[in-house]
């Protein structure tokens, strides 16, 4: 039976259609000749988007199958993996971020964030179905998956009777006002506490806020999970009260306190206040309570590093009464006499 070189004929037809032949074509010898395999050099290098194959070699029919490239990429500052489902494997990005598929193939992509990251959504040639991305390969396609750092919340609160502000170094928290913000899991946040002119900072509450070695009012928070941190502010005041049955007043330097029973005054945080006890007539100053940092006679010095409470005790003067009857007078028992005590 005659041998016919049909390869040249099909190659000529393919070139006329603009199609590169990438695989050999064979037709069985069934009375109409035999197709010989073309040389690889004759077939050309081919096109990445399409090629031609032969099906049903016993019938001589040729099927043209196009292939298109899918490219996936990642965006954002988080880390994660993009993989094709088991029905359409090959893409695994990670490592393999592009693949060619037959025209009409539906590729399902699944995004998996790593620890500390969260999936932010799909972009590009995507049809989103329940967080997966479906791509119909009827052309070259590109898909983007966003991965972001997982966010956790930092909240700050106040305690105590004083007033002040809490702020983060990055400006995201400025409380009162904005008292919470979201941060990337694993990040570190610097907080600082600032009392107002009438208050003092008395420390942080909650174990998550670790004071720095140099400044107690500044602390670092490691954002491994949602965190609430508190700052305690106390009034920078001195309160004085009086004890005993005597009378007197207490005055302060600098000015602010001058009272006989009980009074309170605010002073600059960290300042030293000197209290002086001034007894009234027929009274005397007895002692200060334990609230003084230093005592010298009727003076008490307190440092306003926290709310201070001091009491002054006054007692009545004690006089000695001596009675000396005249020589020619006899004092009868139970005799009453009015005596005026002048202190002399």
**Helical H segments across 152-273, by residue range:** none
Q: What percent of the chain has pLDDT over 90?
A: 52
Report which of residues 28 and 314 the model is more confident about: 314
Kindly give the pairing relationship between strand 98-102 and strand 174-175: unpaired
What Rg value do the Cα atoms of the chain yield, rounded?
47
pLDDT of residue 318: 82
Closest C-alpha among 130, 193, 136 to residue 162: 193
Confidence at residue 189, expressed as pLDDT on a 0 to 100 scale: 96
Distance CA 33, CA 299 (A): 127
How many beta carbons lie within 10 A of that of residue 192, not counting itself?
Answer: 17
Number of other residues whose CB lies within 10 A of the CB of residue 261: 10
pLDDT at 43: 36
Q: What percent of the chain has pLDDT over 70?
A: 74
Fold of domain 237-316: Immunoglobulin-like (2.60.40)
Dump pLDDT digits (tens) for 261-292. 889 998 988 899 999 999 999 999 999 988 89
Domains 151-235 and 237-316 share a fold: yes
- Of 58 and 327, which is predicted with more confidence? 327
- What is the pLDDT at residue 208? 84
| β-bridge mates for residue 229, sequence order | 156
- Give the Cα separation of 108 and 10 in Å (integer): 36
pLDDT for residue 334 = 66
Domain boundaries, the chain: 6-60, 68-149, 151-235, 237-316
pLDDT at 40 over 50: no
Query: Which residues lie below 8 Å from residue 330, measured CB to CB, with a gap of 6+?
Result: none
pLDDT by residue (tens digit) across 200-253?
A: 998 898 878 888 766 789 999 999 999 999 999 999 999 999 999 999 999 999
Say how many C-beta atoms besides its own lie within 10 A of residue 296's C-beta: 9
Residue 103 scores a pLDDT above 60? yes
Rounded distance, CA 146 to CA 77, Å? 9
At 14, give phi and psi (nearest 5°): -60, -45
Per-residue pLDDT tens over the stretch 119-157: 999 999 999 998 899 999 999 999 999 999 899 999 999
Q: What is the mean pLDDT of the chain?
A: 81
CATH number of 151-235: 2.60.40
The Cα 178–Cα 171 span in angstroms is 10
Res 260: pLDDT:
84
The yes-or-no verdict on residue 343 having pLDDT over 80 is: no
pLDDT (mean) for 30-43: 39
Q: How confident is the model at residue 341 (pLDDT cuts 50, 70, 90)?
A: low
Q: Which residues of 121-138 are buried (b: 16+ CB within 10 A; e: fewer)?
A: bbeebbeeeeeebbbebe
């Amino acid at each position: 039976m005659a041998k016919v070189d049909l390869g040249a004929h099909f190659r000529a037809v393919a070139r006329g259609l603009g199609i590169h032949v990438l695989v050999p074509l064979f037709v069985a010898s069934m009375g109409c000749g035999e197709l010989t395999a073309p040389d690889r050099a004759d077939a050309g290098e081919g096109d990445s988007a399409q090629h031609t194959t032969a099906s049903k070699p016993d019938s001589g029919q040729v099927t043209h199958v196009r292939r298109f490239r899918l490219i996936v990429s990642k965006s954002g500052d988080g880390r994660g993996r993009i993989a094709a489902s088991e029905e359409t494997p090959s893409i695994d990005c990670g490592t393999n971020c592009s693949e060619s598929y037959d025209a009409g193939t539906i590729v399902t992509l699944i995004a998996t964030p790593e620890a500390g990251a969260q999936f932010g959504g799909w972009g590009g040639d995507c049809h989103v179905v329940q967080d997966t991305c479906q791509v119909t390969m009827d052309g070259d396609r590109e898909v983007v998956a966003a991965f972001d750092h997982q966010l956790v919340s930092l909240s700050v609160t106040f305690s105590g009777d004083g007033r002040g502000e809490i702020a983060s170094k990055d400006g995201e928290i400025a409380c009162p006002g904005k008292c919470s913000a979201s941060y990337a899991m694993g990040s570190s946040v610097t907080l600082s506490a600032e009392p107002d002119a009438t208050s003092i900072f008395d420390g942080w509450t909650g174990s998550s806020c670790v004071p720095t070695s140099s400044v107690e009012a500044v602390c670092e928070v490691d954002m491994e999970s949602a965190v609430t941190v508190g700052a305690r502010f106390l009034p920078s005041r001195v309160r004085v009260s009086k004890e005993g049955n005597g009378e007197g007043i207490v005055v302060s330097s600098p000015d602010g306190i001058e009272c006989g029973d009980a009074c309170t005054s605010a002073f600059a945080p960290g300042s030293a206040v000197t209290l002086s006890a001034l007894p009234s007539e027929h009274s005397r100053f007895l002692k200060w309570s334990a609230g003084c940092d230093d005592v010298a006679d009727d003076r008490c010095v307190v440092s306003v590093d926290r709310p201070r409470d001091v009491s002054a005790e006054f007692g009545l003067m004690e006089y000695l009464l001596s009675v000396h009857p005249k020589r020619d007078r006899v004092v009868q028992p139970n005799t009453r006499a009015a005596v005026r005590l002048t202190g002399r």
